[in-house]
Amino acid sequence: MDTVRAREYAERWEAQQQRYAIAREERAGVIADVVEHVTAGRERPLVVDLGCGPGTLTARLAARLPGVDFVGVDRDPVVLSLARQCHGAAVRFVEAAIGAERWTADLGLDRPVDAVVSTTTLHCLPEPLLRRAYRQLGALLRPGGALVNGDHFAPEPTGPREISARVGRLRAERQRAFDHEDWDQWWRAVSDDPAFSELVAERHRRAGSVPSTKDSDLPLSHHVRLLRAAGFGQAGSVWQFGSSHVLVAVR
């Protein structure tokens, strides 16, 4: 596939993701602000992007912070192919399954990490896998390094569930987020494109060999408890709109 078509699919991915991440652009800006703060004044800072997909956020961070080394991580061969085609000159992309037994060894890191970022990924991990992943990430980060997670979380048991959902949906409607194709439509387009046939076949082949990634349905407070148990000294939300948060945990 040529780069022009690869970028077209990556842009369509970004558009459909707006359906699922409330105020996605604003949230991405907050993530960039946090990463800039955490890496300021560091020599050769290193940032890892978990569940990077086609690498759009990773590339945006790399453009904003040219002195930082970035590693993008995903387990899906289809989206990783797009990431490498579109942004491989600026970011090193690695295939790994987050939370697997020795997945961090596959990253090929040569020094402690200053920041780990993730967007709309970690909520998919079942709690036992998430607990292990948080411990593993804590071991990767330098003291003072941070995990920066932009994600949507289940409402707190005593929170205004219906109002929060309504607020988020109204924001998305005002931004015309639902005008874009959805997740299933994007994947159908990829599956129907002969250029992806081998990658799609490989994706299906691996589907039965990885743990289920059904949403864990854990509220933010539960994530904070897991992070504190994993050795993070500070953890909390620095931005919120509806169910969408930027959760920051400092090692």
Task: Please give the pLDDT value at position 29.
Answer: 96
- The C-alpha atoms of residue 251 and residue 146 are separated, in whole angstroms, by 6
Strand runs labelled E in 79-202: 92-95, 113-119, 141-152
Burial class of 141 by CB neighbour count within 10 A (0 to 12, 13 to 18, 19+): buried
- The C-alpha atoms of residue 142 and residue 139 are separated, in whole angstroms, by 8
- Yes or no: say if 70 and 49 are a contact pair by the CB < 8 Å rule: yes
Each of the 251 residues of the chain gets a pLDDT tens digit; together they read 789 999 999 999 999 998 888 889 999 999 999 999 999 999 999 999 999 999 999 999 999 999 999 999 999 999 999 999 999 999 999 999 998 888 999 999 999 999 999 999 999 999 999 999 999 999 999 999 999 999 999 988 888 888 888 888 898 899 898 989 999 999 999 999 999 999 999 999 988 655 444 556 899 999 999 999 999 999 999 999 988 999 999 99
Query: Residue 11 phi/psi, 5° resolution?
Result: -65, -40
Query: Residue 197 phi/psi, 5° resolution?
Result: -55, -45
- The C-alpha atoms of residue 237 and residue 247 are separated, in whole angstroms, by 4
HSE of 187, CA atoms in CB hemisphere, 13 A: 12
Which domains does the chain show, CATH number per domain? Answer: 3-250 (3.40.50.150)
What are 183-217's pLDDT values in tens digits? 999 999 999 999 999 999 999 998 865 544 455 68
- The C-alpha atoms of residue 20 and residue 179 are separated, in whole angstroms, by 12
Show contacts of 93-102: CB within 8 Å, 24+ apart.
93/52, 93/55, 97/210, 97/211, 98/50, 98/51, 98/73, 98/122, 98/125, 98/129, 98/133, 99/125, 99/129, 99/130, 99/132, 99/133, 99/136, 99/211
